[in-house]
């Protein structure tokens, strides 16, 4: 790649940073060797500033491209998002379910207390199947065209949203019967159409307050995690979607003593139909594809992070990981010459 890229891989055993070179990739640093990295997000205007969440520990910030890190928030961090319209506004989600915001780049924080004022009929679903059985905020989505609109994915617990930067909230989980929610996003340039990846289905809605419907036509998998949008192939067409999927959930993998049977699917019609991508990807991938991220400069390129680990449970040892890249909008994939532990999250920044 001609454009400089800095890759941050959050793994089951710490954070590893690489820089792209003419000959491939050069490792820059390793940090948090004993930590499980479960969330990562960076700033658009200041790509050298990135936030990393270490579970059971805290949120850390680098301002020098990953050379050094400083803790800016104490807690069991499970998600972090930088406001797409303002690099100084940072949101972080924790376990048990809680949400905090910084308006000064992480120097100070305030809890968004209204989230916990949702009725007990909603909060009773905030749990996790393994001890200590607390749910957490898995994903924070700030609408890129309206930063007052916030959607949260709760693992477990469903979907809640706010139209006033968190001053008030409503549950919008109707239609999803198993509330293990992973990722939510709006269709580009749309304020109504949303998509949700969960542990037992992929859903869409143009009125989340009314309910969600499945959007799985062509899928041969039923567990879904990261997904993203790419610019349309041609003018007048819809955005391309890519999604990481697997056969059953981590609980099934363990009980059946098998891998994830992971796969990547693509759609060019707004998730009305899906096609499995096979070029460069094995038929049955043992490691789950936990992360899909855009290349910071090449809009046709996407990175994928693989990890032989059950990401939702933040404890224990993990297996091996892999990083791959597609340079043609997900149509084909190749492995990066990088060795790492099981990847959980991934971030690509301009270098």
Statement: residue 2 has pLDDT above 50: no
pTM of the model: 0.96
* pLDDT of the residue at 232: 87
Statement: residue 312 has pLDDT above 80: no
Distance CA 287, CA 277 (A): 16
The Cα-based distances of 13 to 240, 253, 291 in angstroms read: 33, 21, 16
Give the tens place of pLDDT for each residue, 178-187.
999 999 999 9
The residue that leads in pLDDT, 276 or 235, is 276
Q: Which residues have CB under 8 Å from 128's CB, separation 6+? A: 95, 134, 135, 136, 155, 156, 312
Can you tell me the mean pLDDT for 319-325?
A: 96
- Say if CB 142 and CB 165 are below 8 A apart: no
**Whose CA is closest to 225, among 199, 253, 186, 251?**
199
Statement: residue 310 has pLDDT above 90: no
Give the tens place of pLDDT for each residue, 238-258.
999 999 999 999 989 989 999
User: Residue 3 has which token pair?
Assistant: 């454009």
Q: Which residues have CB under 8 Å from 226's CB, separation 6+? A: 182, 183, 197, 243, 244, 289, 290, 291, 292
Distance CA 143, CA 212 (A): 19
- Say if CB 179 and CB 200 are below 8 A apart: no
* pLDDT of the residue at 195: 98
Bridge partners, 291 (sequence order): 305
Task: Name the pLDDT band for 316 (thresholds 50, 70, 90).
Answer: confident
* pLDDT of the residue at 18: 97
* pLDDT of the residue at 1: 36
Q: Which CATH architecture has domain 5-350?
A: 7 Propeller (2.130)
* pLDDT of the residue at 347: 98
**Whose CA is closest to 52, among 66, 215, 232?**
66
**Whose CA is closest to 338, among 330, 329, 350, 346?**
346
Bridge partners, 137 (sequence order): 154
- Say if CB 228 and CB 240 are below 8 A apart: no
Can you tell me the mean pLDDT for 323-335?
A: 97
Task: Name the pLDDT band for 222 (thresholds 50, 70, 90).
Answer: very high
In this structure, what DSSP letter does residue 117 have? Answer: G
Whose structure tokens read 């820059």?
Answer: 28
Give the tens place of pLDDT for each residue, 32-79.
998 999 999 999 999 999 999 999 999 999 999 999 999 999 999 999
């Amino acid at each position: 790649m001609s454009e400089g890229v800095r890759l941050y891989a959050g793994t089951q055993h710490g954070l590893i940073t690489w820089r792209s070179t003419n000959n491939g990739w050069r490792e820059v640093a390793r940090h948090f060797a004993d930590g499980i990295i479960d969330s990562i997000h960076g700033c658009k205007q200041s790509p050298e500033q990135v936030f990393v969440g270490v579970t059971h520990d805290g949120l850390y910030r680098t301002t020098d491209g990953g050379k050094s890190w400083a803790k800016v928030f104490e807690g069991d961090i499970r998600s972090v998002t930088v406001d797409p319209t303002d690099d100084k506004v940072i949101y972080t989600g924790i376990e048990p379910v809680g949400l905090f915001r910084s308006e000064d780049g992480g120097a100070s924080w305030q809890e968004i207390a209204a989230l916990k004022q949702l009725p007990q009929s909603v909060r009773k679903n905030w749990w996790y199947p393994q001890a200590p059985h607390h749910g957490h905020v898995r994903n924070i989505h700030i609408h890129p065209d309206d930063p007052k609109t916030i959607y949260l994915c709760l693992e477990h617990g469903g979907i809640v949203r706010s139209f006033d930067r968190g001053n008030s909230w409503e549950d919008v989980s109707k239609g999803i019967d198993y509330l293990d929610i992973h990722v939510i996003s709006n269709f580009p340039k749309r304020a109504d159409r949303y998509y949700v990846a969960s542990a037992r289905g992929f859903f869409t809605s143009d009125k989340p307050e009314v309910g969600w419907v499945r959007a799985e036509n062509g899928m041969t998998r039923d567990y879904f995690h990261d997904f993203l949008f790419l610019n349309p192939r041609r003018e007048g067409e819809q955005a391309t979607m890519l999604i990481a999927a697997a056969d059953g959930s981590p609980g099934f993998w363990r009980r059946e003593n098998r891998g994830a049977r992971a796969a990547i699917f693509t759609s060019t019609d707004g998730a009305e139909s899906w096609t499995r991508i096979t070029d460069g990807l094995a038929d049955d991938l043992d490691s789950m594809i936990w992360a899909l991220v855009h290349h910071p400069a090449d809009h046709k390129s996407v990175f994928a992070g693989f990890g032989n680990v059950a990401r939702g449970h933040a404890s224990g040892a993990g297996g091996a990981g892999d990083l791959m890249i597609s340079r043609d909008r997900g149509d084909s994939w190749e492995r990066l010459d990088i060795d790492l532990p099981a990847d959980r999250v991934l971030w690509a920044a301009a270098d």
